Copies of this chain bind each other. A is one copy, B any other.
């Protein structure tokens, strides 16, 4: 077990990360890094070897070890389960692989109603038992440490994007054609993918995850009107179906400056913000009822430390301004909600780049802890 970092009160489920997500008082601003388990770490490269990522994910002890490496290395407040948003799709044999350096690739893209037949319901304990097993291993290791385990799933729109495009896309031509040409079929696909996300997250939380993030990585390709019509309803459904778990939810996408208010309306406890929108501006768009996560530019972490240090302080300062601005409204508006709003989870604005020096991220985590420590 890791030594405790959560302070004397941090029992399971009441970690610094969870408290910040809910907008409750915290001993310091919690920090974790998207893709913190990854190629920037030499111990990751050593443990992973050259096998495919889906094969590493299906090896629960290995996945647990990769999940824990960045906790040891960076001193972060959360581990995020080593997995991938296409794991459920892969597990129901839809025919998706993850190509190194490219991302998810679908052999037979989803283009018509017939393709719905290839998308059977995802039953986590039967189709991908290794995910919950890895979560159990990590949760046991983190017990009493004050470090939270975050589970995750792809939001329906982003998973659909991979399915319909057949892989990463710059234009989203096929997916937009489908949603606008066959909106009823689109809605049926989104409902299926919402069920898939719900099943996946529920299994991870029941196995020990104390929070979860929905990655809607490509939502920024949509106009606000498209997001509201074609992506938001299914995301809202996922969050609503998972509300009974009582764990905080984080909704994240890239290039979502125009969508932040709509993303907040989907009902997450935390809205993730990429590096393009300063957190005080994000607060104006999201309103007072949510916590915010972000948003140091991952590419900036390749710069010399003084640049990274200044940028980290800038994020903390914008988060602090954002919290003060939201306090009054938060107090009056959220009495009935589990989340009090106004919290901040420090993170990057997108995933760690493989070229990143791990020493820089450790220094960022330390700086965030020092600067925000409350006695």
Complex CA gap A141/B268 in Å reads 58
User: Across chains A and B, which 9 residue pairs bring their CB atoms closest together, nearest first?
Assistant: A180-B303, A176-B299, A177-B302, A180-B307, A257-B257, A173-B299, A258-B276, A173-B353, A223-B275
Q: Which of B171, B223, B353 contacts A353 (CB 8 A)?
A: B171
Question: At the interface, yes or no: A88 with Cβ under 8 Å from chain B?
Answer: no
Residue with the greatest number of chain B CB neighbours at <10 A, chosen from A257, A276, A277: A276
- Cα–Cα distance between A225 and B353 once the two chains are bound (Å): 21
Q: Which one of B181, B300, B303 contacts A304 once the chains associate, using CB atoms below 8 Å?
A: B181
B297 A173 Cβ-Cβ under 8 A: no
| Between-chain CB contacts (< 8 Å), 17 pairs | A171-B298, A171-B299, A171-B353, A173-B299, A173-B302, A176-B299, A176-B302, A177-B302, A180-B300, A180-B302, A181-B303, A223-B275, A223-B278, A223-B297, A224-B276, A257-B257, A258-B277
Nearest CB of chain B from residue A132's CB, rounded to whole Å: 32
The residue of chain B having its C-beta at the shortest distance from the C-beta of A168 within the complex is: B170
- Is A355 engaged at the interface, CB distance under 8 Å to the other chain? yes
Q: Does A220 contact B (CB under 8 A)?
A: yes
The answer to whether B299 touches A355 (Cβ under 8 A) is no
* A192 → B minimal CB distance (Å): 22
Q: A299 and B181: CB pair below 8 A?
A: no
Q: Is A130 an interface residue (CB 8 A)?
A: no
A interface residues, tally (CB under 8 Å): 32
**What's the Cα separation between A347 and B52 when bound, in Å?**
44
The yes or no answer to A255 lying at the interface (CB within 8 A) is yes
CB of A162, distance to nearest CB on chain B (Å): 15
Q: How far apart are A110's CB and chain B's nearest CB, in angstroms? A: 16
Contacts of A297 in B (CB 8 A): 176, 223, 226
Residues of B within 8 A of A224 (CB): 276, 278
* A173 surroundings in chain B (CB, below 8 A): 299, 302, 353, 355
Beta-carbon contacts of A236-279 to B below 8 Å, as 1s and 0s? 00000000000000000001011000000000000000011110
User: Contacts of A299 on B, CB cut-off 8 Å?
Assistant: 171-173, 176-177
